[in-house]
Structure 1
Amino acid sequence: MSERERFDRLRLIRSPRIGPVSYRQLLARFGTAGEALRAIPDLAQRGGGRASVAEAGAVEREIAATRALGARYLLMGDADYPALLDQMEGAPPALIMRGDGALAARPCVAMVGARNASAAACRFARTLAQDLGQRGAVVVSGLARGIDTEAHRGSIASGTIGVIACGIDIVFPPENRDLQGQVAEDGLLVTEHPPGVQPLARHFPARNRIIAGLALGTVVVEAAPKSGSLITARLAAEAGREVMAVPGSPIDPRAQGCNQLIREGATLVQNGADVMEAIGGFDPRMVRQGSFEFLGEPVSSDVADQDRVAVIGLLGPAAVAVDEVIRLSGLSPAVVQTVLLELELAGGLERHAGGRVARS
């Protein structure tokens, strides 16, 4: 990939209303990021709105700031972009990293859990992380309070990856400043956000998909129902990865999420041997990498007005699966995807998890 193309790809993903799905669609249709950037205003106009692209100067300043922090970019399509992450729905087109990038190529296990975890769960998480490291696994977590913190502490000597929901220069939570610095020096620190971006609430579910995507399986140590840890477990399950949970006391609310996962079919684990046995059945031949073809059909070069009206008429404020829109419209997947892309660029479409869409 040329330096010009790398720059244009970063500029593409930094452009307003461009997300991971539209990014892949645009590259699949136009071949290069430069051609895609030139096409965005016209596509948005067809969708009934206007769109701009990221200013080249702003991207140049971001690159300079990233390099000044001792970090580097890893773009989707690079040979060392993590193959497992590449398979996730909405995988980040651009990662910013500090540390040992080779860790992401080793067998990884995600460990997540409660921020207000019990002392016993924190001790168990730290011990389990040490055990996994001794068995050759890299532990991935989110550098949050509680279970995440102990998972990193237990695996920092053997290999750990911290995924954060902010810029590479931002520390959150503040008390983990030293730990985050140690992960960046001795492990690997990863984010999809440019320097200076603060840890907003909406960034954490997106961060969780990277945690789940890097790993062969996810272990939940302690979690309440409807917690972020269960979101990570759900994302792992949707990607065909192993979901594991540590059982807890039925009278402790912080264990209810784990016990619920086990009831729903998650693998009960009690030590590192259990975890390694659970992920041992993953077939690496299932992993593809480096494809910019949209999952399904690439977008079309042209759409008839009546087809555009038909697709838009099926959309509303309630999210609906794209496959359902294709079925009800009777149109080809390529035509439907094109209309959705035009609407998204025009600001008239929101994408939801599970391949669902809704009118803005």
Structure 2
Amino acid sequence: MKRTTLSPAGRTAWLRLARTRGVGPVTFNELIKRFRTAEAALDALPDLARKGGRTTALVPASRDEAEAEQDWLDRIGARLLCACEPDFPDGLAVLDPPPPVITTLGPLDLSDRAACAMVGARSASGVGLRFAGQLAGGLGQHGVIVVSGLARGIDGAAHAASLETGTVAVLAGGLTSIYPPEHRDLHAAIAEQGLLISESPPGYSPQARDFPRRNRLISGLSLGVVVVEAAERSGSLITARYALEQGREVMAVPGSPLDPRAKGTNRLLREGAALIESVEDVIAILSGLKRASVGESGRDGYEDDPDESGATDAVRERVAALLSPSPISRDELVRLSGAPARIVLAALVELELAGRCEIDPGGSVRLAC
């Protein structure tokens, strides 16, 4: 996505498109690539949704709603950053796809310092909490920003220990949706000294599906991810998986084989994660990594034939018939449908706008609930 400075009207249109029901990050990115501007994409939405099989009109988020959100952000001293804008964080801008918009609150500047994520068990042990605090504090003393998700346990310990040196909390809900409730004071302290980041509308209360999306941004902002205690099916392992997909370093702290909270971290180590026993181990790994940089890629996929509606019409229902409540990768849909990838993706965009499927930012697709 090319970097550009949006006009006030352009930012409002960008926010309207991002806040329209059924427009997820993948669909948003494809709409911008295809129609060049958010204004043009908004105009095209009703027809695309109809083609996808929507039986009621798709109504985009209104201009009044978008302007009210921007006014509210201004009143509390928060910022709205659009994915195409120059000051959008590089680590998020290079994701495929990037979050269309984020809102931020706090004074911390991410542009000139390395960041490392730290995640782990919510029901962490005392030893795990102490080690996470020591690790986060040590990283801060070396000038590294600590990124986490403001959850109970390891996340909270990491934020608290790095509050004075720089910490970022990526929220699953909106900027003012405090979860868990017992982190109200920590949330306020990070807003005062660090940085809160959300891709959700203000006041939005998170649901279960929002936490993996949050985890994707935690790893995206960071050079690497350190996992301190994680059970076999921990959400922290989702963050580690996203880190691998994004080309970030995965690090893990070993634990006792008798503690179920170490099953996930020990498995990461068996699969090749870097073993972490001290802050020096993390610094040594981070020092050899490059920070993400954003290139200027054009409008991939639509230059040769911008009007492929006929081809999309021919495969749309074939693609829809392959979907189920269980996720399937877009690559697998391309293989099974026998259609070109760009046509399958165009069909999926129309199906998501019609409310018939959900496209995960990580690349999987499922029938809409």
**Is 1:63 aligned with 2:66?**
no
Match of 2:143 in 1: 136
Task: Write the letter of the residue equivalent to 1:334.
Answer: R
Q: CA RMSD in A?
A: 2.1
Q: TM-score, normalised by structure 2?
A: 0.90
Give the CA deviation at 1:320: 2.9
Deviations 1:21-60 (A, max 9, x none): 1111111111110110010001111111142211111222
Q: How does 1:5-16 map to 2 (within 5 A)?
A: 5-16=10-21
Report the more deviating stretch, 350-359 or 308-317.
308-317
**Is 1:40 aligned with 2:45?**
yes
Q: How does 1:321-332 map to 2 (within 5 A)?
A: 321-332=329-340
Report the more deviating stretch, 83-92 or 10-19.
83-92
CA distance in 1, matches of 2:25, 2:108: 22
Deviations 1:106-136 (A, max 9, x none): 2100001111111111111111111111112
CA distance in 2, matches of 1:223, 1:318: 25
**Is 1:263 aligned with 2:284?**
no
Match of 2:36 in 1: 31
CA contact (8 A) 1:24 1:292 kept: no
Give the CA deviation at 1:287: 3.5
Report the more deviating stretch, 238-247 or 43-52.
43-52
CA distance in 2, matches of 1:280, 1:238: 21
CA distance in 1, matches of 2:302, 2:331: 11
CA contact (8 A) 1:103 1:160 kept: no
Change (3 A) 1:208 1:309: closer
Match of 1:197 in 2: 204
CA distance in 1, matches of 2:351, 2:188: 42
Q: How does 1:89-238 map to 2 (within 5 A)?
A: 89-103=96-110, 105-238=112-245
Give the CA deviation at 1:213: 0.7
Q: Which runs of 5+ in 2 are unaligned?
A: 1-5
Give SS of 1:189's match.
strand
Give the CA deviation at 1:288: 2.7
Give the CA deviation at 1:105: 4.5
CA contact (8 A) 1:166 1:199 kept: yes
Match of 1:254 in 2: 261
Give SS of 1:243's match.
strand
Match of 1:358 in 2: 366
Give the CA deviation at 1:355: 1.8
CA contact (8 A) 1:100 1:186 kept: yes
CA distance in 2, matches of 1:344, 1:118: 42
CA distance in 1, matches of 2:63, 2:96: 28
CA distance in 2, matches of 1:251, 1:168: 39
Give SS of 1:81's match.
coil
Match of 1:278 in 2: 285
Deviations 1:56-99 (A, max 9, x none): 11222222222222211111011121112222244311111111
**Is 1:242 aligned with 2:249?**
yes
Task: Write the letter of the residue equivalent to 2:344.
Answer: V
CA contact (8 A) 1:77 1:290 kept: no
Give SS of 2:104's match.
strand
Deviations 1:273-319 (A, max 9, x none): 111222233234x643565746x668942322434444445445543
What is the number of residues matched between the two proteins? 358
Q: TM-score, normalised by structure 1?
A: 0.93
CA distance in 2, matches of 1:96, 1:165: 12
Change (3 A) 1:231 1:306: closer
CA distance in 2, matches of 1:289, 1:163: 25
Give SS of 2:50's match.
helix
Give SS of 1:121's match.
helix
Give SS of 1:197's match.
coil
